[in-house]
Amino acid sequence: MTSKFLRLVLAGAVVFAISALAQTGAATPSSPTASPAISAPAPAAVPGTTVPAATKVGVININDAIFGTNEGQRDALALQKKFEPKQTELKNENDELEALKKQLSTQGPSLNEDAAANLKKQIESKQKTFDRALQDFQEEGGNQQQEIASRILQKMAPMIVKYSQDNGFSLIVDSSKPWPQSPILWWNPDNVDITKAVVELYNAQSGVPAPAPTTGAAAPKPAAPKPAATTTGAQKPATPPKQ
């Protein structure tokens, strides 16, 4: 979905939203707690000088935070159900296209020139139609997923800022993208990741109940729905890498 584009959009949006909120609340005194953080070692004190305070750095996966909330999971499930009919339609078109390709492969040598040419034209026409429909399907799903993410992020960004200030963080870094796309080379999630804490804070304030568990299915992921199979040469829907 898409997901690569979504991460880029989210990265820019969260930097803008959080930066603006952090500037307005920069004067708010922080009250460090035992929340996970990285503390840079304080330099040795030199007589007559002021020792700078240690810097606490936190990490959050914005993508996981947004779609890890009850609201995000609920809306992702609704989007998935919405696209199921189109997904089935694309699968049927793909199956029909594969059957024609198999027919050309097995019967091609025995067909006369006109019959073979007509079959090839039919395959080419259906392939173009399928590719166009699949691309539209991905784009529509990606746009609607982005709308969900943007709406949730607008409400989540102030919570990230407040949580960071209340817990004495000087810097929060997004870990949605792996290195080298992200500046983060390595970190210990147990010590610095605030994603879970932000999700819990958001759920508590949103009042949205957790979605009912789906038998035999994992929690919905922020990715555009896709047909069960795609034809060779057809563009495949993007799937976000598992963090």
From edge to edge, which strands make up the β-sheet containing 171-174?
38-39, 56-60, 171-174
CB 28 within 8 A of CB 158: no
The torsion angles phi and psi of 45, rounded to 5 degrees, stand at -70, 140
Is the pTM higher than 0.85? The answer reads no
**What gap in Å lies between CA 9 and CA 145, rounded to an integer?**
12
Treating both helix axes as pointing N-terminal to C-terminal, what angle do 113-166 and 70-107 enclose, rounded to 10 degrees?
Answer: 160
Q: Which helix (H) or strand (E) holds 174?
A: strand 171-174
Cβ partners under 8 Å of residue 158, min gap 6: 21
One digit per residue, pLDDT tens: the chain, 243 residues?
334 434 444 444 444 444 444 444 444 444 434 444 444 455 555 565 555 567 889 999 999 999 999 999 999 999 999 999 999 999 999 999 999 999 988 887 888 888 889 999 999 999 999 999 999 999 999 999 999 999 999 999 999 999 999 999 999 999 998 888 888 888 787 778 999 999 999 999 999 999 887 665 444 554 444 443 344 333 333 444 343
Where on the phi/psi map is residue 111: left (φ > 0), alpha (ψ -120 to 50), or beta?
beta
54: which 2 tokens? 């240690």
CB 231 within 8 A of CB 124: no
Q: Which residue has the tokens 């607008």?
A: 154
What is the chain's Cα-based Rg? 25
